[in-house]
Amino acid sequence: DKKVEAIAEEEAKADKQNERTMDEAFSFWDRNKTVRPMKQPKKNKQQELQKTIKATMKATLGGGELRKTVKLPPGEDVNEWIAVNTVHFYNAANMIYGTCSDFCTDASCKVMSAGPKYEYLWKGGSYKKPTRVSAPIYIDNMLNWVNDKIADPSLFPVEDDVPFPKNFKSKVQQIYKRLFRLYAHIYYSHFEKIRAIGANAHLNTCFKHFVFFIQEFKLVDPQEMA
């Protein structure tokens, strides 16, 4: 919501002089536990694009031009670009949640929410209808669900000569909507603790990159982020 983005923007300004590269941000998360193993793109083309993401971020992040990193590289397929970035953002969400999972518990977060106006219900797997669950249960189910989507070769093709399905973008939009809810919950419920362990600059960098990508390719309804 607007509070989430306002906090991120305020912190980004405060940390502008000390902004770090994405590799440095990820090295911080690497020192902390993660919930699941990191996912790697399986297609050769996506592995090349993953290197493009890192190289572009190194070249632009220090200058405050993070928005440039989300642009589709010239001559590249938009679905390939969205796919490799989806893996990237899943890994980031996985690492971020691994850092705060000790204080995001069933007792402290009885519902998955981002304030009193935004409560998120889970539907999927054994939950046949939207159900109120604790934040850890929601997030664990969500990360498992995203992992399964990324591992599905009918949605994320493994072979370079296999095309993406026609409904690829509509399918990944649901992934981005649910990943955004993870950030919304962390900012609203756990930001002070994230700041206390010195992870706020890294969180802000990951979140800004994520939001810029969503905006560039219209992956989440703006009302979901209002």
pLDDT of residue 168: 97
**Is residue 173 within 8 Å of residue 219, measured between CB atoms?**
yes
Helix, strand, or coil here: 158?
coil
Work out the angle at residue 60's Cα, subtended by the Cα atoms of residues 226 and 27, and round it to the nearest 5 degrees.
Answer: 85
- The distance in angstroms from the start CA to the end CA of the chain is 5
Query: What proportion of the chain, given as a percentage, has pLDDT over 90?
Result: 56
CATH 3.60.20.10 fits 2-225, yes or no: no
Q: What is the pLDDT at residue 39?
A: 61
At 131, which amino acid appears?
A: T
C-alpha 14, offset from chain centre: 22
Q: What local confidence, expressed as pLDDT, does residue 225 receive?
A: 85
**CA-based angle 25:138:213, to the nearest 5?**
40
Can you give the pLDDT at residue 158?
86
Give the residues of the chain that fall short of pLDDT 70: 1-64, 226
Host H or E run for residue 31: none
The CB-side HSE value for 218 (13 A sphere, CA atoms) comes to 1
Q: State the pLDDT at residue 45.
A: 55
